[in-house]
Structure 1
């Protein structure tokens, strides 16, 4: 028994006329009659009572019709559910993110995503860039919002925003009111930095920029997480 046998039978039962049913199914009437007979032979009992003038469902045919309709409906639902899953419209998505992205970028992205895919459960995990790279490799998260540069040729990377490196200074600092500051001007200033372990490639990039400007930055404090930087700034 195949799904087409069920589909053919349901259409015949709805039309109670082989000619009209064949037209709906876009097949010739003799072929349709043969398919129904094959189904009845497999079941071992008649589903239809045929006369020269009419086609009627037997009692067994009425019961089989209900069950066949349910089976076909479940198959359609299964197909649609699988298609939604294939398109990423259902399921669970785990996103890793650096804490600084939670200020504005992450809320905007989540709002847009949930409008498009309301049936996807989204789980968020705050992680450093290094932690996200490990989690991506181990398939613990599916998407990472991290900070470049990183060395991971096995990742598909898409740049979603570029940000300038800015310098935050006390209000009374001699450089505070300059529109532009060049790195050598900061050679004698203490820096608030993330550790190399947490800052990853961004920490390395910043150190290289300072060294190319002729100095190695003095670390006044190391912030474990980016969101703790604001709490340390008044201490500088």
Structure 2
């Protein structure tokens, strides 16, 4: 029932079941079902529903503070305050990370971390940014390396920016023309619209009135890159952590010179897809560390965040 109470409080804070779902990593229907279950158990109506809009009912306003208190008490029971100082220092650190961070940023950061000597065990948990935010909120993670939440940073967490990763357009090697030509001729391998990074792509397409032929839709830029290499269509992806050059002009179909290998792609001997820069204002996603304030009390967590920042800085 704690989960339902958290959903109730989040829906009250956002005044929207869909926004609450985005924060918690749930669908709008799942949020609605949880609220309905809670209303049935309590025997009251918590929200007034008008179309897609929701607002707290009188009973909802009355019970909101109690729900917040129950959640706080539950967190205190699970909290770290009761652990001894030595046990807390040696306890595993649970780190969430999106796949591109696991492949591109995390290995170097962990190498810096292990070079410092004996450190707590790291438990790496994969997931999309929206899922990692929900796990942080549920106190299942201490920190997450992810895309900055578009709904803002929760009050009980801190955001440490690491890098801004630019997006580029990619197509199978040898594809000619510009982005509109690609959109007309090839299926679009889409970065999942429900993810924070994919939402940025969708907004870009709408802003520039680029109509695409829908193909495959999936979560991870590294996998999208492989799909494009296989000739399944074109895409728009963040470039840095999957080893693509940031200066896409250097490898466009009109550029006579071979692209200069950027620092972030030393391991890749050749660019095996066609790249084009995106028109208009630069499209970037902000990557960083979202950490619970309580976890920052551990020196090892702060040290790990410094290692992540130093590794990101080396790739700038």
TM-score (norm 2): 0.41
Report the equivalent of 1:131. Answer: 131
* Pairwise CA distance, 1:173: 0.8
What are structure 2's unaligned runs of at least 5 residues?
A: 1-83, 234-316
1:1-236 pair list within 5 angstroms: 82=85, 90-116=90-116, 118-154=118-154, 155-175=157-177, 184=180, 186-188=182-184, 189-197=186-194, 200-233=195-228, 234=230, 235-236=232-233
Could you say which structure has the higher helix fraction?
A: 1
Distance 1:123 1:210 in 2: 37
Could you say which structure has the higher strand fraction?
A: 2
Distance 1:133 1:230 in 2: 25
Distance 1:156 1:169 in 2: 37
* Pairwise CA distance, 1:115: 2.7
Distance 2:129 2:96 in 1: 9
SS in 1 for 2:148: coil
Report the equivalent of 2:8. Answer: none
SS in 2 for 1:131: helix
Go from structure 1 to structure 2 and tell me whether the alpha carbon gap of 1:230 and 1:204 turns closer, same or farther (over 3 Å shift): closer
SS in 2 for 1:203: helix
Distance 2:158 2:138 in 1: 15
Report the equivalent of 1:46. Answer: none
* Pairwise CA distance, 1:231: 3.3
Go from structure 1 to structure 2 and tell me whether the alpha carbon gap of 1:100 and 1:185 turns closer, same or farther (over 3 Å shift): same
Alpha-carbon RMSD: 2.5
Go from structure 1 to structure 2 and tell me whether the alpha carbon gap of 1:205 and 1:225 turns closer, same or farther (over 3 Å shift): closer
Tell me the matched-pair count: 145
Structure with the greater relative contact order (CA < 8 A, sep ≥ 6): 1 or 2?
2
Distance 1:151 1:124 in 2: 24
1:152-197 Cα offsets, whole Å, 9 max, x none, are: 331311111111101222221114xxxxx6x656542432113223
Go from structure 1 to structure 2 and tell me whether the alpha carbon gap of 1:147 and 1:187 turns closer, same or farther (over 3 Å shift): same
Please say which structure displays the higher CA radius of gyration: 1
What are structure 1's unaligned runs of at least 5 residues?
A: 1-80, 176-180
